[in-house]
Amino acid sequence: MHIDKLEKNWAGISLGIAGLFVTVILGSAFFHGIHAPSNVETIDSAKLHLSAEFAEDKLGVERNPNGSVTVRMVAGRYGFYPKDLTLPAETAITFRWVSLDVIHGVHMPMSNMSTMIVPGYVAQVSTVLHHAGDYPLLCNEYCGMGHAHMWSNIKVVSKAQWDALNTQGGANHG
Amino acid sequence: MDNAAEKKLALTHFWVAFGAFGLAAVMGLYQVIERSGFFGFLESREVYYASVSTHGVLMGFVLTTFFIMGFGYYVANTTLRLPVWNKTFAWTGFGVALTGVVLAALPLLLGQASVLFTFYPPLMAHPIFYIGATLLVVGSWFWCVSMIVMYMQWKKANPGQPVPLAMFATTANAILWLWTSAGVAVEVLFQLIPWALGWIDTIDAGLARTLFAWTLHPIVYFWLIPTYTAFYTLVPKQAGGFVFSDEMARAAFILLVVFSLPIGFHHLYMDPEQAHGWKILHAVGTFVVTLPTFITGFTVIASLEIAGRLNGGKGLFGWIAALPWNNPMVLAIILGLLMLIFGGFGGLVNASYAMNAMVHNTAWISGHFHLIFGGTTIIMYFGIAYYFWPILAGKPLFCPSMAIAQLWSWFIGMVIMTTPWHILGLLGQPRRIDSVNYNNLLTISWEPYEVTMIFGGLILVVSAGMLIYNLYKTHLGSESYQGEVEYAEPIHAVKDLPGYLNSFTLWNIVIGVFMLIAFGYPILQFFLMETFGSGRWGV
């Protein structure tokens, strides 16, 4: 068997390149807490309206005692409900997503809030939003004829502004 | 060698492949125009999604499968110097696959299967669509059996001899495809068809996605292997040189087969039904499978350099200019490698566990896929077609200069179409939207890119037309041409190959173990935890 020396060297370099990428990815996954949504939590998508967590009156923003925020959302053809949300910047936010019908995907452009929403499962994403502004939430997985009409709004405001809104009541009552 | 029957077999497969390609290319142009929103009278989401679904099935499943089968039969025949084993069996496989395509086409074209080529249950298509798709795969299994039987026949007659490289790669692909198609076959046979026919009421979308992910990554290597086979065994000869290393080529094909299989979860990074650990395991495997592509890039470019220097090229880069750029196969590889460099970079972004979150399911993904599949993989299919057609039809190529213009226009069109597509993804545009309806200022930034893409689509459809016209006129030609496929020789003759580079027995065991590790528990978990299936949903 004949393997040229140059080829052996190149195979070593290739291995090094791939190894470098793997190291960076493992490093970011284990030490920077960067994780894709993977909570493997099942739910009966046909009975969301009866569930303790995702019935209509439970949806939207919840402030947790430790200052973090949990957002519960239902995706269904064709929208993400509740349709309008106001969220604080620079705050730990956990989104919990469920689908009431078919597969959807959702992302918030210019942020790393992105997940698939598979019926039968709860998709959980934790993130921090850094910049105030008006963001759309867009459906990014084909879900039927109205796929391109499936979106809703998120307004990100500074933490101080958000606290003020919430003490007056009204920013997120739905 | 009298191989008129083999020529007919291969050419018939090729015509189905490129017929599907021509039709799908026209649909592609319609889609890029429709989605731009600048031509109101064309807008119809029903037609758009029927078209997207059909375009995906024709390009991804029909063009590829029939091309790979035709190419494989002829490679087996000419490298092994054996007649194609049991031609009735081969034609039966062709008939089963073609019947499947026709069956699937009916609901697709009637808008009854607008579920895209990735199925997406609990969206439900007409049952005929799933049955047709199944028959296409079953037909391709006939081909796998033929390839493996011929490989065994040759090995028995030539004990200890190295299997010719092109056939080694083709057999690798047949084995790869049997492993690959098992995932989607289980999904279709045990989930989709019984559910669509009403035998079972619900379907677990998480399990369906996991099974589809089994197939979804290695299928792209099934499509790519004929392209790599041409890189290693046809191009160096056409360029006037030799293969730099036969042994490294074999190692690359083995690595492709073994490591493309247990890594499908990079399609599920953003999915809730699989846990982190499994995703990270598959992410690591995804980077391992870059190795055979790195090796291929090196060996193939080294082979081209040998050719360029034999043609009189001097200096560090002079050999590139000395390559025969007017040979369709050589031009196809040069343009294909250029697209591979950019597409490969995009692929590294997608494969990265965290960066993927920024581009997941955006227009970036469609752009990436078109660049690497529609670009690198398919342009070499064109190169092979221009080389094989005169041999198979026994008539000279109708217009060689049109072939060169076609390859350049395909490359230019693909760059003009996919660059804006990538940018749209970074600007947040979701993939597969038929129109832009979001009431947000962000969408204004998308418009110039939507316009640019139309020009790319126009160039591509003209290019596709040039290809079909050239092949058609070749087929109808009156002159006769006698030629046979010539395979490149390695610089160093292959002797005393170790068994693991000349046989797949060990590798099948390795694949079995890897698949058990990578997919065993992730599939089993659906039977261990309480899951809730979904009913049937229309589109």
**pLDDT of amino acid A155:** 95
Confidence class for position A37, pLDDT limits 50, 70, 90: confident
CB A102 within 8 A of CB A76: no
**pLDDT above 90: residue A170:** no
For residue B2, what pLDDT is reported? 87
| Domain assignment of residue B533, yes or no | no
- Token reading at B71: 């190419």
Measured on CA atoms in the order B474, B480, B481, B484, is the torsion positive or negative? positive
Look at residue B30 and tell me if it is in a domain.
Answer: yes
d(CA B52, CA B29): 11
CA of B493, closest CA in chain A: separation in Å?
9
**How many residues are recorded in chain B?**
539
* Crossing angle of helices B87-109 and B45-56, rounded to 10°: 170
Instruction: Give me the pLDDT at residue B352, please.
Output: 86
Residue A11 has pLDDT above 50, yes or no: yes
Distance CA B211, CA B229 (A): 28
pLDDT at A174: 42
> pTM for this structure?
0.96
Q: What is the pLDDT averaged over residues A29-34?
A: 74
Residue B38 has a pLDDT of 87
- To 10 degrees, what angle do helices B87-109 and B64-80 make? 170
3-state helix, strand, coil in chain B (%, to 5): 75, 0, 25
Least confident of A31-35, A135-139, B189-193, B328-332: A31-35
Q: Rounded mean pLDDT of A120-141?
A: 95
What is the per-residue pLDDT for A168? Answer: 67
Beta bridge partners of A138: A107, A151
Nearest residue in A to B248, CA atom: A3
Pairing of strands A92-99, A69-76: parallel
Q: Closest approach of chain A CAs to the CA of B220, in angstroms?
A: 20
Mean predicted confidence (pLDDT) in B292-320: 95
The mean pLDDT value for B384-402 works out to 97
Residue A65 to residue B146: CA distance in whole angstroms = 67
**Is the residue at B142 inside a domain?**
yes
Residue of A nearest to B114 (CA): A144
HSE of B395 in the Cβ direction (CA atoms, 13 Å)? 14
**Residue A41 contacts B where some CB pair is shorter than 8 Å:** yes
What does the alpha-carbon distance between residue B69 and residue B171 come to, in Å, rounded to a whole number?
A: 11
Asked if residue B335 belongs to a domain, the reply is yes
Question: What is the number of other CB atoms lying within 10 angstroms of the CB of residue B373?
Answer: 19
Assess whether pLDDT exceeds 90 at residue B163: yes
Cross-chain residue pair B295–A118, CB shorter than 8 Å: no
| Helices B290-310 and A5-31: angle between axes, nearest 10 degrees | 150
**Identity of residue B71:** F
Mean pLDDT value across residues B179-184: 97
CB contact under 8 A, A142 and B116: yes
Give me the residue from A118, A134, A136 closest to B273, CB to CB: A118
Determine the average pLDDT of the residues in B245-261: 96
B310: CB partners within 8 A, 6+ apart: B240, B241
pLDDT at A20 over 90: yes
> Which is higher by pLDDT, A170 or B48?
B48
Structural domain containing residue B122? 4-526
pLDDT higher than 70, residue A172 = no
What ipTM goes with this model?
0.93
The reply to whether A39 touches chain B by the CB within 8 Å rule is yes
What residues have CB less than 8 Å from B201, skipping those under 6 apart? B195, B533, B535
Per residue, what are the HEC states of B495-507? CCCCHHHCCCHHH
pLDDT tens readout for residues B404-418: 999 999 999 999 999
Structurally, chain B folds into a number of domains equal to 1
Q: What is the mean pLDDT of chain A?
A: 91
State the pLDDT at residue A33.
67
Q: Would you please indicate which residues of B are annotated as catalytic (active-site) residues?
A: 217, 221, 368-370, 431-432
CA–CA distance, A162 with A164 (Å, rounded to integer): 5
- B270 closest CB neighbour out of A14, A34, A105: A105
pLDDT for res A4: 87
Q: Please state, in angstroms and rounded to a whole number, the distance separating the CA atoms of residues B533 and B205.
A: 7
Question: CA B256, CA B218: separation in Å to the nearest integer?
Answer: 9
Q: Which residues contact A170 (CB under 8 A, 6 or more apart)?
A: none
Report the residue of chain B nearest A135, measured CA to CA: B440
- Classify residue B535: in a domain, yes or no: no
Sign of CA dihedral B26, B363, B104, B109: negative
Q: What is the mean pLDDT of residues B164-175?
A: 98
Q: B203 to chain A: which residues are within 8 Å by CB?
A: none
pLDDT at position A27 is 85
Shortest Cα–Cα distance, B258 to chain A (Å): 16
Number of other residues whose CB lies within 10 A of the CB of residue B47: 17
DSSP β-ladder status, A133-139 and A104-107: antiparallel
Asked, for residue B492, whether it belongs to a domain, the answer is: yes
Structure tokens at B532: 């809730």
**Looking at residues A18-22, what average pLDDT do you find?**
92
What does the pLDDT read at residue B267?
Answer: 94
- Using CA atoms, how far apart are residues B364 and B359, in angstroms rounded to an integer? 6
Question: Burial, B149: exposed, middle or buried (Cβ in 10 Å; 0-12, 13-18, 19+)?
Answer: middle
Q: Among A121, A133, A46, which residue's Cα sits nearest to residue B273?
A: A121
CATH (domain of B300): 1.20.210.10
Helices B290-310, B276-288: inter-axial angle, 10-degree rounding:
10
pLDDT confidence of residue A31: 78
